[in-house]
Chain A
Amino acid sequence: DQQVKQNSPSLSVQEGRISILNCDYTNSMFDYFLWYKKYPAEGPTFLISISSIKDKNEDGRFTVFLNKSAKHLSLHIVPSQPGDSAVYFCAASPRYNTDKLIFGTGTRLQVFP
């Protein structure tokens, strides 16, 4: 059973527009959520995170929104740039086991000129 779900395997956005990547989770015991970015032939790298006590966290062009009642979070990239083209993984950290992360299936973002 997939506790962290990314239902859109791919997303295509024009340069300069907003990219919205979505993530749903099933376990209410998750305390922290993270987004990782992965380029081809490289390992994932940390991008941005949010605590369950917040509903928004912003870092430059990247903003993560958390809706706990819907068990949903989203990553907004504004404006999108070609260099943002990558696979984005959503991950969650359980309250009962903060040393591990549970990852989603990933969404491949392509930003075209």
Chain B
Amino acid sequence: DAGVIQSPRHEVTEMGQEVTLRCKPISGHDYLFWYRQTMMRGLELLIYFNNNVPIDDSGMPEDRFSAKMPNASFSTLKIQPSEPRDSAVYFCASSSWASALGVYEQFFGPGTRLTVL
């Protein structure tokens, strides 16, 4: 398996523009997570899905952020309009039950580095 795939790897945009980040989870994983990494808050959970259904979006910072998962193999995180404070690395992760660990083990994509000028 290729692992979790994210695109683009880098995105530079101007304030006010719409930004769409994409994620393809590992096949067979039934959970998908979107995180934002910042120095102050570390890995911050934005939203996660189970079987394509949003379960918890309490981490989404504002109405400018939205996420969808139209099918089991694709998800998007959209920011509209973007602002300079949205600049961060955004990670997508998918998970499956790891019986040896007793938790759902999360596998991360390489991230999208977003810069909003």
Contact = CB atoms under 8 A, between A and B. Distances in A.
| A interacts with B | yes
Interface of A: 2, 6, 9, 31-32, 34, 36, 41-46, 49, 51, 89, 91, 93, 98-106
Contacts of A101: 45, 103-104, 106
B45 A51 contact: no
Contacts of A106: 42-43
Interface in B39-97: 39-45, 48, 50, 55-56, 91, 93, 95
Contacts of A36: 108
Interface residues of B, number: 29
The B interface is mostly helix, strand or loop, or mixed, namely strand
Contact of B41 (A2, A9, A43, A93): A2
Nearest to A90: B42
Nearest to B40: A105
A93 B95 CA distance: 13
21 contacts: A6-B42, A32-B102, A41-B111, A42-B111, A44-B91, A44-B108, A46-B105, A46-B107, A91-B43, A93-B104, A99-B31, A99-B50, A99-B55, A99-B104, A100-B48, A100-B56, A101-B45, A103-B35, A104-B43, A105-B42, A106-B43
Contacts of B50: 99
Given A32-B101, A105-B40, A100 B45 contact: yes
Given A32-B103, A34-B101, A98-B104, A43 B45 contact: no
